[in-house]
Amino acid sequence: MLTILIADDQQEEREGIAFLIQELGFPLKIEFAENGKKALEFLRHQSVDILFTDVRMPLMDGLQLTKQALQLQPHLKIILFSGFAEFEYAKTAISLGVSDYLLKPINVDAFQDTMEKVIHKITEQKQVDEATNMSQTYVKKHVLFTLVNGVGEPPSLKGVSLDLPDVYHRMLLLEFEKNFFEHVGPEFESFVLSLLGTPAEYINLNGYQSLLLFPEAKVPSRFSYREMAGLIHESILDRFNLICYVAVNESPITIKDLATGLNQLEQLMEYRFFSPDHFVFEENDDNFYYSNETELSDSAILDTIRTNIKNRDIFGLKANTEILYQKYAKQVQFSQLYVKYMFSNLYQEIVTHHMDVSEMELNHGIEKICRAEDIRDIKKIINEYVLRLEEEFTDSESSFNRDIAYIKKYIEDHYADDLSLDSLAAKVYLSPHYLSSIFKKNMGCGLNKFIKNVRMQKAKELLTSTHLKVSDISTAVGYRDVSYFCQNYRDFYGRTPEKFRQFIVTGERV
């Protein structure tokens, strides 16, 4: 409903205008002000669509009110009314941007025509503004989605103002185990944004993930971003009865590097496979990195890096090389010679495993480390070869496929056993993290989901073709807790095992 503010120092005239509005059936919320100053004070605190004001009023006349009112609310429509003797005011009123000018005494037909015209203009403009805002919102989300997914440059947007920042200062990735976003409506976006206490862009990435981008550098006054992530998790659990995992990146990301930022968040999110009791993941979290880096010996770190390389664990390799950088970045008591010696050893560990590097190139890299002016130069050299090693591992698709085929067959043959990521990884001599990553990439689902699918299929076969008790079937397919088995079966097939068997017996399709 539109709002009209009637400003007049005469009560009977204010009430007369209100009476006409009601009698003519205009759908307006009516507010009153007994002089120009009170009208202006009202406009400072409340949004109004139409200002209907007398010209002559004490303290502040209608023209003074008009000028200041339009400064406060530029889209305000103003109707002035006055006696014939004040008609010269009309010239000034037009220059100020007044919508219409009515003479006293009010002519009902003229009043009706004027109100209809003004209301039509306001309604039409609101529709245009709403359509424009919806279009800009859609285009903005499309551009951000394109940049986040790294699918190329966004389309040309000449003449479209999206108000995108150069840098987003934080990013939060929300991830669900189930295909959540295919079943939740658009109100979820409003629900999440209402929790934040600071401006943010919301992007739905797929059925399982959505992303929050924060354009402001300041931290919300209510809580830290980690606490915000915890609040999001708890609020979604309370509202939707589903677990939401949240990864937090508090490093500024330029708008052109959003794809890199998302990749970093997804790497953090992979820790949830190994830490089922954690729901918020962030860089340098003591739960996932060494708690006291300065107590680790260089040999211990290098031993861990050798294991990372052997197990093709690029994520672990990056994390542990970062530990070395942080250890020496501010340790001025160490000599430059010693630091360069340590990183030369690290460099050799990286390039002599799985990489086709000539002795000349190997020596050239060591020379570059020795000539480095500071640790940033050394870090750049190491990172270059870590990336090359990552490419080497990525290109080894045939060996990956063999490992995945073996694990898949092993699960299908040993579904009744206690299967864990650690035990499966040990069978193909890979790190748990790396096996989880390549399995998901090749199979399109995580290991836990694949194991569950196999077990549910076997349970269905046993329910259909045997008379075994449900408790025996539960044990036969690897579930030690019968109630947990029944819950999983119901979630998977829509019916409990007993109900499923009843429908089979009666011949009704499931």
Average pLDDT, integer, range 257-268: 88
Question: Highest mean pLDDT: which of 96-105, 367-376, 454-463?
Answer: 454-463
19 and 100 part of one domain = yes
Distance in angstroms (rounded) separating the CA atoms of residues 345 and 352: 11
Q: Of 334, 363, 395, which closes a domain?
A: 395
5 phi and psi angles, rounded to 5 deg: -110, 120
Q: What is the CATH number of the domain that holds 455?
A: 1.10.10.60
Q: 209-214 and 170-176: which strand pairing?
A: antiparallel
Domain membership of residue 449 (yes or no) is yes
Lowest mean pLDDT among 129-138, 241-250, 294-303: 129-138
277 and 338 part of one domain = no
Domain membership of residue 43 (yes or no) is yes
Confidence check: pLDDT of 499 > 90 = no
Average pLDDT, integer, range 22-30: 93
318 and 385 part of one domain = yes
Confidence check: pLDDT of 440 > 70 = yes
Helix (H, G, I), strand (E, B) or coil at 50: strand
Half-sphere exposure of 150 (CA within 13 A, CB side): 7
128 phi and psi angles, rounded to 5 deg: -65, -45
191 and 208 part of one domain = yes
Domain membership of residue 150 (yes or no) is no
Q: What is the pTM of this model?
A: 0.39
pLDDT score recorded for residue 355:
67
pLDDT score recorded for residue 151:
61
- Condensed to tens digits (0 to 9), the pLDDT of residues 320-357 reads 888 877 777 655 456 678 888 888 888 888 887 666 77
Domain membership of residue 136 (yes or no) is no
Q: What are 54-61's contacts with CB under 8 Å, separation 24+? A: 54/7, 54/8, 54/9, 54/10, 54/13, 54/80, 54/81, 54/82, 55/80, 55/81, 55/82, 55/86, 55/89, 56/82, 56/83, 56/86, 57/7, 57/8, 57/9, 58/9, 59/35, 60/35, 60/36, 61/36
232 and 250 part of one domain = yes
Beta-carbon count within 10 A of 410 CB: 16
Distance in angstroms (rounded) separating the CA atoms of residues 497 and 194: 41
**Mean pLDDT score of the chain:** 82
Distance in angstroms (rounded) separating the CA atoms of residues 500 and 498: 5
Q: What is the CATH number of the domain that holds 180?
A: 3.30.70.270
- Condensed to tens digits (0 to 9), the pLDDT of residues 375-430 reads 778 888 888 888 888 777 765 555 667 788 889 999 999 999 989 888 898 888 77
389 and 441 part of one domain = no
Distance in angstroms (rounded) separating the CA atoms of residues 301 and 297: 6
pLDDT score recorded for residue 136:
64
Task: Report the alpha-carbon angle 336-308-387, nearest 5.
Answer: 70
Domain membership of residue 82 (yes or no) is yes
Q: Of 363, 379, 395, which closes a domain?
A: 395
CA 269, distance to chain mean position in Å, is 13
278 and 352 part of one domain = no
DSSP class of 297? -
Confidence check: pLDDT of 217 > 80 = no
Confidence check: pLDDT of 122 > 70 = yes
390 and 437 part of one domain = no
Provide the domain count of the chain.
4
Domain membership of residue 138 (yes or no) is no
378 and 443 part of one domain = no
pLDDT band at 134 (very low <50, low <70, confident <90, very high): low
- Condensed to tens digits (0 to 9), the pLDDT of residues 150-173 reads 765 555 444 445 578 889 999 999
Confidence check: pLDDT of 188 > 70 = yes
Q: What is the CATH number of the domain that holds 105?
A: 3.40.50.2300
- Condensed to tens digits (0 to 9), the pLDDT of residues 37-67 reads 999 999 999 999 999 999 888 889 888 999 9
381 and 414 part of one domain = no
pLDDT band at 274 (very low <50, low <70, confident <90, very high): very low
CB 211 within 8 A of CB 173: yes
pLDDT score recorded for residue 471:
92
Lowest mean pLDDT among 33-42, 128-137, 193-202, 238-247: 128-137
Domain membership of residue 144 (yes or no) is no
pLDDT band at 94 (very low <50, low <70, confident <90, very high): low
CB 430 within 8 A of CB 407: no
Average pLDDT, integer, range 11-22: 93
Higher pLDDT, 332 or 256: 256
CB 196 within 8 A of CB 278: no
Higher pLDDT, 28 or 346: 28
Q: 50-54 and 77-82: which strand pairing?
A: parallel
242 and 320 part of one domain = no
Radius of gyration of the chain (CA): 34
**Percent of the chain, pLDDT > 70?**
84
pLDDT score recorded for residue 105:
84
Provide the domain limits for residue 351.
293-395
Distance in angstroms (rounded) separating the CA atoms of residues 242 and 509: 30
Domain membership of residue 238 (yes or no) is yes
pLDDT score recorded for residue 77:
93
Average pLDDT, integer, range 299-317: 81
413 and 322 part of one domain = no
CB 222 within 8 A of CB 231: no
Q: Of 376, 395, 414, which closes a domain?
A: 395
Distance in angstroms (rounded) separating the CA atoms of residues 75 and 195: 31
